[in-house]
Structure formats: structure tokens, C-alpha cells
Amino acid sequence: MATITKIEVHIKTPADKFYDIFKNNITHLLESSSDHYKSIEVVEGDGKSVGSVRLWNFVLGTPMVAKERIKAIDDENKPITFCIFEGDINEHYSTFDLSIQVCKEGDGSLVKWALEFDKANEEVAHPTHFMDLFEKITKEMDAHLLKA
């Protein structure tokens, strides 16, 4: 049975602008979070629509590779859902579905991350380190966009 873990991050960037980065300009992560993300390559589709597949090279303690498919996009409510289906993450988690939703909040936004996962076995740790990464990249992207 899948487990869901969530975090919320308050940022100063307007919701439309932050959402646009994750929908249409994800390679900006290479600039704002270069310590973590080394490359993002579109391997199927346009990289911006449902069904598109992207290959991520990133560092989370050690170098990792992940292939993700965009599962759902809702421009009105601003959630995007991805599933990781190939790579290092799948050695530890049989299901790894991630969603980000960006909500308007005053002059800024509330970024909601949700991770639905199934551990490959009981010895696998809860993916707290991934949630910490998502919080960190949210804050780094916020700072990057506010400087631009």
C-alpha cells in the first residue's frame, strides 16, 4: 500500500511565475540548484505535456539518474504530477509519484509537494531526504526568480 508524505513551502514569487518554471522551463533548476541538478534531458515528447519523458541527472548524497513521465497537468489549479519509472530511485521504491501544486497566497505563493511511494522492501528508509531536497530547491528557485 502506498504511503503519501507532504510538505508546504511559502515563497515570495507569484504562483503563475513559479508554476511556469516547473511546467515550461524546468531547466532553470540547472541554474538555481546547480549543486543538486546536473542535467535534465527530454527523451520523449516536448518535455512540457502529459506523456513527456525526461531524464534527470542529480546529486543527493551521491550521483543519481531518474527517468520521469509527466502524468497530469492542470493549468487552472496548478498541480503537475510526475512518476519516476526508471533509475536509481526505483532500486529502493517500487512506486515514486511526485506532485507539485503552486497556490496563490497574498503577494507570493504556497508550494505544496506530495510524494506517493511504495518501498521496495522494509529496510528502505522513508524518503525524507527527497522531501528535504524539494523544500531546498523550492527556496533556491524562489531566490533565483526574485533576483531576475
Share of the chain above pLDDT 70, in %: 100
- Does any domain span residue 93? yes
- Does any domain span residue 79? yes
- Does any domain span residue 125? yes
29-86 confidence digits (pLDDT tens): 999 999 999 999 999 999 999 999 999 999 999 999 999 999 999 999 999 999 999 9
Cα 37 to Cα 20, 55, 92: the distances in Å are 18, 11, 20
Q: CA 86: distance to chain centroid?
A: 15
**Mean model confidence pLDDT for the chain:** 96
Instruction: Mention every residue, 6+ apart, whose C-beta is less than 8 A from residue 147.
Output: none
- Does any domain span residue 83? yes
The average pLDDT across 111-129 equals 97
How many structural domains are present in the chain?
1
Q: What predicted TM-score, i.e. pTM, was given to this entire model? A: 0.94
For 97, the domain range is 3-26+71-147
- Does any domain span residue 95? yes
Which CATH number fits the domain that encloses residue 77? 3.30.530.20
User: Hey, what amino acid is at 32?
Assistant: S
